[in-house]
Amino acid sequence: MANEHIGMEEEPEIIYIPDDEGNEEEFEVIMKFEVDNSDARYMMVVPRESADEETDEVYAFRYEEDGDDLKLFMIEDDEEWAIVEETFNTLVEELDGRDE
């Protein structure tokens, strides 16, 4: 029922990320955020084919926007990953609290 907001729902943001073989895979952006005390911006994405299903497959990237260009960076640092994961979980908890 939460998806029945007529005219109020924004179109999902879709991005295309090439896999190891150069094939573009479609992902839906589920959240963008900045981390406190940092200029870094992050996005959480899910594979488009599983966006409507319950899934644990969520990917995080640091990103930069340059006009219409979007540059994604893998998060390889454990400390950075811990900060991103904590921020994401906090935001999800806040959103879940508002939906009730």
d(CA 47, CA 32): 16
Structural element, H or E, at residue 100: none
Convert the pLDDT of each residue in 41-80 to its tens digit.
999 999 987 555 555 688 999 999 988 889 999 999 999 9
Q: What's the confidence (pLDDT) of residue 53?
A: 55
Task: DSSP for 11-26, please give it.
Answer: PPEEEEEE-TTS-EEE
pTM recorded for the entire structure = 0.75
Tokens of 97: 């609290």
CA dihedral in degrees (71, 77, 79, 82; nearest 10)? 60
Convert the pLDDT of each residue in 3-26 to its tens digit.
444 444 578 899 999 888 989 999
* Degrees, nearest 5: CA angle 3-7-9: 45
Indicate if the pLDDT at residue 100 is higher than 80: no
